[in-house]
Amino acid sequence: MARSTLTPLTPTLPLQRAQALHVALDAGTVLRVVDGRVRLHAPMRWLGDAITTPVVVLSEGEAHRMAHGGWVRIEALNGAALLHHEAPVPGWQAACLALKRGLGRSVSWLRRPTAQNV
C-alpha cells in the first residue's frame, strides 16, 4: 500500500454562488469537491505557438491533482461549493519523516524486553 505524501491538514475553501477564487497552487496539490460543483481553470500552458488554459469541471465527490503549479481560477457553478485543499509535502520533509519513522522502529526494537533482560 502506497503511503500518502499529502499533509494531513486540509484547509477548506468555501465559495458562494457565482464566486470565483484566484489562488496559486503547487504541482501535486489535490482539490476535492465536498459539496457543489466547480469549474477549475488550470495554469496557462504553451501548446505549440498558442497559450492554452485547461478547464476541468468537478462535481461533488470528485478530485483533481494539479499536474503543474501556478495561478488557477476556481468558480462555483449552480450555487455554493465547498472544497478541500491538500498541498504536497516538500521532498526534504518527507525524507525527514521517513528517517524518523525508521529510527523510531530500530530504537523500539532495542528496548524490547527479552528473557535475558528480565
For the chain, the three-class secondary structure string (H helix, E strand, C coil) is CCCCCECCCCCEEEECCCCEEEEEECCCCEEEEEEEEEEEECCCEEECCEEECCEEEEECCCEEECCCCEEEEEEEEEEEEEEEEECECCHHHHHHHHHHHHHHHHHHHHHCCCCCCC
Cβ pair 30, 64 in contact under 8 A? yes
> CATH no. for residue 106?
2.60.120.10
Residue 57's domain comprises: 12-111
Please report whether residue 94 resides in a domain.
yes
Per-residue confidence (pLDDT) for residue 61, from 0 to 100? 92
Structural domain count, the chain:
1
Please report whether residue 117 resides in a domain.
no
Please report whether residue 3 resides in a domain.
no
Please report whether residue 54 resides in a domain.
yes
Please report whether residue 118 resides in a domain.
no
Please report whether residue 5 resides in a domain.
no
The values of phi and psi at residue 99, to 5°, are -65, -40
Please report whether residue 31 resides in a domain.
yes
pLDDT in tens, the chain (118 residues): 334 343 444 578 888 988 898 988 888 889 999 999 999 999 988 888 888 889 999 999 999 999 888 999 999 998 888 888 787 767 777 677 777 777 766 655 555 665 655 5
